[in-house]
A and B are shown apart, each in its own frame.
Chain A
Amino acid sequence: MTSPARCRSLSCALLFAALALATLLCAGRASAQDISGALDQFTQGNYGATEAALGELAVSGSPAAAGIVQALADGKLVFSNALPRKVFIETDKGLLDPLTMQPVPDPGPVKPVRVNNRIRRAIEAASGTLSLTSPDAATRLSAAGAVLRTRDEAALPALEKALAKETDRHVKSAMTLARSAIVIGMDGVPPEERIKAIEVVGAEGNQDALAVLRGLPDNALPEVKEAAAKEIAGIQHSLAMWDVVQNVWYGLSLGSVLLLAAIGLAITFGVMGVINMAHGEMVMLGAYTTFVVQQAIRTYDPGLFDASLIIAIPLAFLFTGLIGVIIERTVIRFLYGRPLETLLATWGISLILQQAIRTIFGPTNREVGAPSWMSGSFDIGQLSITYGRLWIIIFAMLVFAALLAVLRLTRIGLEMRAVTQNRRMAASMGIRTNWVDAMTFGLGSGIAGMAGVALSQIDNVSPNLGQGYIIDSFLVVVFGGVGNLWGTLVGAMSLGVANKLLEPYAGAVLGKIALLVIIILFIQKRPRGLFALKGRSIEA
């Protein structure tokens, strides 16, 4: 690039001079194709100029405009430091001229055109406007969506032009909606047209429509305002109903998190009666297992990333289950029948585990990524459901069903139930109660580890992860009825839903307090929880 640089830069200068001349000739009446004026504005290094340049580009009709806007969005639009400043597009093959997309001689040091939120909005508006006439229907649809979101008045002429040519039904209705949204916020629109626009937007019936309608200028005519008020009232009415549904959904989602956190404890505390304060740390270990699995995948086979959680689930189960068995064999088995000592010992274990993780992985949060099938959301009516939450609910139900099946249908499950109900009788029937105890504790811990895999998706992966869940887990198990898995399910779901229904009225802090008060009163009335086990073993 060194030897031809000089002669090329000369031609560059000539080109620049020609462009400058053209700019001068067209001053005040920018021609449809000439965007050099806009390009110069990018080099000024202030946001206002960049925004203005984007506006110019969007309506220029130049074939190069879309590429330039895209480059800016990707942070690839750069300008030279040396005067006269010029704009280039940065690619793997070096710098390109934005108009011709041809390589240019090295202009010396360059820096990117800076972008902030204001510019990002302008980019969205500009690229929406520019792709309204794209041959691809899906691109046009998303362009109409972009125009709807930004509601940029400058996009109106382009939108109307595109609307006249549009043939696809879906795209047409999206464009009509976008046009109506712009019209509502504009000054000097005839009232009939505005009322028609209000009806189009009102028919959407969602929160964005509400935002558009509320943005009606204050100087609108009374009949226009009335039409808008009518639509707003209608939308609010239907949204209020959807709100309840949404809150119940949030409640189920919270309930499934509580269920996941508590279900392991329902075994160690509920079935075995061990007050296991280290339960939260088992969840934490499961989350860290996920982190380690993802690190390994990132290093050795990034293509497997989407499967990382699936791989982590059995590993987390085995690892935390193993830790559980070790804890049971070395500490807890000496403490059966002594709840206070068990409590202190397991609390100590939880501190040891936390500090061990802190020493190995450091005190800061670790990043656990979300696989692509857990990102994003979809809508049912006005209800927005995120895939991540949906999968967690499904996972919680699967874990619950699997655990139930193990306890009901397998030999080890039968032995566990036998040992819980009557240890001595079970022992005389030839069951190795020691071994069953270790396996039961391992099972509970392993399930907590699996919960950790799911919780790593919604919470911090830090040494303190478990502490946030331990109290809630005990609440759920005690509330549901100690020793009853179905009680844990119902307890978790009702606590989740009650919490989420209270929260909008009382706020997060008061809502939580109110819930605790309700539980205290409930436990006073029914000390054994929702589903009390009846029978001799409980009294013993």
Chain B
Amino acid sequence: MLNLFTQARRIAGRAAVGAAAVALAAASVPAHAQETIKVGVLHSLSGTMAISETTLKDTVLFMVQEQNAKGGVLGKKLEAVVVDPASNWPLFAEKARELISKDKVAVVFGCWTSVSRKSVLPVFKELDSILFYPVQYEGEESERNVFYTGAAPNQQAIPAVDYLMENEGVQRWVLAGTDYVYPRTTNKILEAYLKSKGVKDEDIMINYTPFGQSDWQTIVADIKKFGSAGKKTAVVSTINGDANVPFYKELANQGIKATDIPVVAFSVGEEELAGIDTKPLVGHLAAWNYFQSVDTPENKDFIEKWRAYTKNDKRVTNDPMEATMIGFNMWVKAVEKAGTTDPDAVIDALIGVSVPNLSGGYSTMMPNHHITKPVLIGEVKDDGQFDIVEQTPGLIVAQEWSPYLEGSKDLIADWRKPLNCGNFNVKTGKCGGAGQ
């Protein structure tokens, strides 16, 4: 009975998703013959990830419109091709293939989860195209065809832990996450980092929950118990997506305030807070490379134009949007530098490209295909925005291979000639091997 049911459900899911995708793809075939440069958008517009990814689709369309208003690229207009991989990981690969070989897009902006990125990697390698990936992730990867504009762990997690140690005097740590690759790897890095700072085993509690966990009573009670050991305790949360709202509601229910046990989150931004009453959450923290409340003229201008574009004067902005914008501008600059949209030329041209970010500096694409970023720590305010309480003085270069993990501490990535390698082992002097 149950077996029959899951199977039929899977078939039904595929069929419906397929139909929707065909319809969308058909709609995106251009009607006019004027020559354009096509830009692929590979973000889920239905299914569980639609909550986060729809905004990024809108961001790319917004950027395309802005660029076309400036006259396009290389004298041609840009044209966005939007597909819907429907939060279905294998479908991401199919859709990527369709974008590159059928629609002949010059570049793709897309993916949110690591598993979707891993699923499209072979396609981008095989067809030699470019993917811009705009979300913070666990690191331990550097590919020739992928440009990572989100944060690596040392650009988000480690500065956040440092802040709690220095400013809040935290000595005891709960590492709570959803059970998949990003939280597991990040927590492994954090655990090694905390131990290197002299935190003892019994002062670290690691907890994983399934996707979409909605009953947090036991875990929050455990956190409360763990926090009553007479040492200042904090929670480092890599809890993903929908599970956050019930988690924060339970924290408020059980009366855990930020002044007792602060929670610092790496996946909670302005969009996620939109679904919660934030008054009981004031003071809980998030670490990102951008907040909507960043006080710079660039950011003000961006928010204004974004709200005009979406015709919604309450629309929030968030970190992955900034990363998408940076990636888009870097690609435009690299194409203009190379004078062509040919992937090989653009991939070489991208390294070293600098574009303004929204916090008042310039982000640069490094030879490891990751960008330099400032790290901001924000406390939740009662209006759902963040009060920035700390900003790193300079930009931080991504460590794609974490020095705190046994398997990756000897690896570096450098896609310039002559090295041209994403996992060069400095000990053995060879490309490849460990970490792959």
Known: A212-B230, A254-B217. A358 touches B167 (CB 8 A): no
> Is there a chain B Cβ closer than 8 Å to A259's Cβ?
no
Q: Let me know if A509 is at the binding interface, CB within 8 A.
A: yes
Q: Say yes or no: A367 contacts B259, CB within 8 Å.
A: no
A369 at the interface (CB under 8 A from B): yes
The distance in angstroms between the C-alpha atoms of A362 and B283, with both chains bound, is 28
**B207: Cβ under 8 A from any A Cβ:** yes
Which of B179, B228, B258, B275 makes the CB contact (< 8 A) with A461? B275
- Taking CB atoms and an 8 Å cut-off, the chain A residues in 460-516 that contact chain B are 460-464, 467-468, 474, 478, 499-500, 503-504, 507-509, 512
Whose C-beta in chain A lies nearest to the C-beta of B48? A464
Report which of A210, A358, A362, A388 forms a contact with B46, defined as CB distance below 8 A: A358
Closest to A209 in B: B228
* Interface presence of A410 (CB below 8 A): no
Tell me whether A117 and B283 are in contact in the complex, defined as CB-CB below 8 angstroms, given that A367-B276, A458-B249 are known contacts. Answer: yes
Residues of chain B within 8 A (CB-CB) of A459 are 214, 245-246
Which of A37-45, A340-348, A396-404 is the interface stretch? A340-348
B202 to chain A, nearest CB (A): 12
Inter-chain CA distance A388–B217, complex, in Å, is: 12
Within 8 A of A (CB), among B210-254: 210, 212-215, 217-219, 221-222, 224-225, 227-231, 242, 245-246, 249, 253-254
Is B209 within 8 A of A117, CB to CB?
Answer: no
A258 to chain B, nearest CB (A): 9
For B213, give its contact among A216, A369, A508 (CB under 8 Å): A508
**B275 in contact with A460 (CB, 8 Å):** yes
Contacts of B260 in A (CB 8 A): 149
Q: Is B125 part of the contact surface with A, judged by Cβ < 8 Å?
A: no
Q: Which of A133-141, A245-253, A309-317, A322-330 contacts B (4 or more CB under 8 A)?
A: A245-253
Q: Which of B250-270 contact A (CB under 8 A)?
A: 253-255, 258-260, 262
Report which of A362, A369, A467 forms a contact with B277, defined as CB distance below 8 A.
Answer: A369
Q: Give the residues in chain A near B255, CB-CB below 8 Å.
A: 377, 384
Partner of B51 from the list A120, A277, A364, A388 (CB cut-off 8 Å) is A364
How distant is the Cα of A257 from the Cα of B214 in the complex, in angstroms? 10
Quick one: given A348-B12, A504-B222, are A121 and B259 in contact (CB under 8 Å)?
Answer: yes
A355 interface contact, C-beta 8 A = yes
B26 interface residue per 8 A CB criterion = no
Shortest CB-to-CB span from A470 to chain B, Å, is 9
A419 CB to nearest chain B CB (Å)? 23
Closest Cβ of chain B to A225, distance in Å, is 13
Assess the B210–A512 pair: CB atoms within 8 A.
yes
CB of B29 within 8 Å of the partner chain: no
Separation of A252 and B224 alpha carbons in the complex (Å): 20
How far apart are the CA atoms of A209 and B148 in the complex, in Å? 48
Interface residues in A338-394 by Cβ distance below 8 A to B read 340, 343-344, 347-348, 351, 354-355, 358, 362-367, 369-370, 375, 377, 384, 386, 388-389
What are the residues of chain B within 8 A of A223 when measuring CB–CB? none
Size bracket, chain B contacts: 35 or more
Inter-chain contact A468/B214, CB cutoff 8 Å: yes
B103 on the A face (CB < 8 A): no
Instruction: Check if B217 sits within 8 Å of A500, measured CB to CB.
Output: yes
The reply to whether the CB of A118 lies closer than 8 angstroms to some CB of chain B is: yes
Q: Determine whether B50 belongs to the interface, using a CB cutoff of 8 Å to chain A.
A: yes
A500 and B218: CB pair below 8 A? Answer: yes
Inter-subunit contact A120/B242 (CB<8 Å): no
State which of A117, A216, A377, A389 has its C-beta within 8 Å of the C-beta of B259.
Answer: A117
Whether A508 touches B208, Cβ cut-off 8 Å, given contacts A215-B230, A459-B246, is yes
The answer to whether B1 and A478 have CB atoms under 8 Å apart is: yes
Knowing A211-B228, A214-B229, the reply to whether A364 touches B271 (Cβ < 8 A) is yes
Residues from chain A with a CB closer than 8 A to the CB of B285 are 117
Q: Let me know if A159 is at the binding interface, CB within 8 A.
A: no
Q: Are B389 and A116 in contact (CB under 8 A)?
A: yes
Neighbouring A residues of B46 by C-beta, 8 Å: 354-355, 358
* Chain B positions within 8 Å of A11 at CB level: none
Q: Which residues of B contact A120 (CB under 8 A)?
A: 258-259, 283
Q: How far is the CB of A383 from chain B (nearest CB, A)?
A: 11
Contacts of B141 in A (CB 8 A): none
Could you say which residues of chain A place their CB within 8 Å of the CB of B210? 508-509, 512
CA distance A58 to B274 in the complex (A): 37
Known A-B contacts A277-B9, A363-B50; the reply to A214 vs B230 at CB < 8 A is yes
A394 to chain B, nearest CB (A): 16
Chain B residues with CB under 8 A of A467? 48, 212
Closest to B16 in A: A351
Q: How far is the CA of A354 from the CA of B222 in the complex (A)?
A: 35
Closest to B49 in A: A363
Partner of A507, one of B208, B228, B387, B389: B208
In the assembled complex, the CB of A455 is this many whole angstroms from the nearest CB of chain B, namely: 9
Smallest CB-CB separation from B379: which chain A residue? A116
In A187-221, which residues have CB < 8 Å from any B CB? 207-208, 210-216
B340 within 8 A of A: no
- Nearest A residue to B277 via CB reads A369
Contacts of B258 in A (CB 8 A): 117, 120
Chain B binding surface SS class: mixed
Task: Please tell me which one of the listed residues B12, B230, B253 contacts residue A344 in the complex, with CB atoms under 8 A apart.
Answer: B12
Across the interface, which residues of B come within 8 angstroms of A257, CB to CB?
A: 215
**B433 lies within 8 A of chain A by Cβ:** no
- Give the interface size class of chain A: 35 or more
- Answer whether residue A124 sits at the interface, using C-beta atoms and an 8 A cutoff: yes
Smallest distance from the beta carbon of B358 to chain A beta carbons, Å? 21
Once the chains bind, are B259 and A464 in contact (CB under 8 Å)?
no
- B54 adjacent to chain A (CB < 8 Å): yes
Cα–Cα, bound, A461→B387 (Å):
26
- Per-residue contact bits, chain A 516-529, to B (CB 8 Å; 1 contact, 0 not): 00000000000000
Pick the residue among B9, B228, B272, B274 that contacts A210 (CB under 8 A). B228
Contact of A460 among B209, B246, B283, B387 (CB under 8 A): B246
Is B12 touching A347 in the complex (CB atoms < 8 A)? yes
A508: nearest chain-B partner, CB-CB:
B209
Q: Which of B16, B209, B253 has the most CB of A within 10 A?
A: B253
Q: Mark B387-412, 1 if CB is under 8 A from A, else 0.
A: 10100000000000000000000000
* B205 nearest CB across to chain A (Å): 11
Give A365 to B227 CA distance when docked, in angstroms.
30
| Measured CA separation A138–B34 after assembly (Å) | 77
Q: In residues 253-306 of chain A, which contact B (Cβ within 8 Å)?
A: 253-254, 257, 275, 277
State how many angstroms separate the Cβ of A513 from the closest Cβ of chain B.
9
Contact check, B5 vs A343: say whether CB atoms are below 8 A apart: yes
B8 interfacial contact with A, CB 8 Å: yes
The distance in angstroms between the C-alpha atoms of A500 and B16, with both chains bound, is 36
- Listed residue (B16, B179, B259) with the most chain A CB atoms within 10 angstroms of its CB: B259
Judge whether A423 is part of the interface by a CB distance below 8 angstroms. Answer: no
A114 at the interface (CB under 8 A from B): yes
In the A-B complex, the 6 residue pairs with the smallest Cβ-Cβ separation, listed nearest first, are: A365-B275, A214-B230, A215-B230, A211-B228, A347-B12, A363-B50
- On B, residues with C-beta under 8 Å from A are 1-2, 4-5, 8-9, 11-13, 16, 45-48, 50-51, 54, 167-168, 179, 207-210, 212-215, 217-219, 221-222, 224-225, 227-231, 242, 245-246, 249, 253-255, 258-260, 262, 271-272, 274-277, 283, 285, 379, 387, 389
**A-B contacts, 17 listed (Cβ < 8 Å):** A116-B379, A116-B389, A213-B230, A254-B217, A344-B12, A363-B45, A364-B271, A377-B254, A377-B255, A459-B246, A461-B275, A464-B242, A468-B214, A504-B218, A507-B207, A508-B207, A509-B208
Give 18 new A-B contacts, CB below 8 A, not counting A250-B215, A388-B253: A207-B225, A210-B230, A215-B230, A216-B230, A253-B215, A254-B215, A257-B215, A344-B8, A347-B9, A347-B13, A348-B16, A351-B16, A367-B277, A389-B217, A462-B275, A467-B48, A508-B207, A509-B209
Interface residues, chain A, CB within 8 Å of chain B?
47, 114, 116-118, 120-121, 124, 149, 207-208, 210-216, 246-247, 250, 253-254, 257, 275, 277, 340, 343-344, 347-348, 351, 354-355, 358, 362-367, 369-370, 375, 377, 384, 386, 388-389, 458-464, 467-468, 474, 478, 499-500, 503-504, 507-509, 512
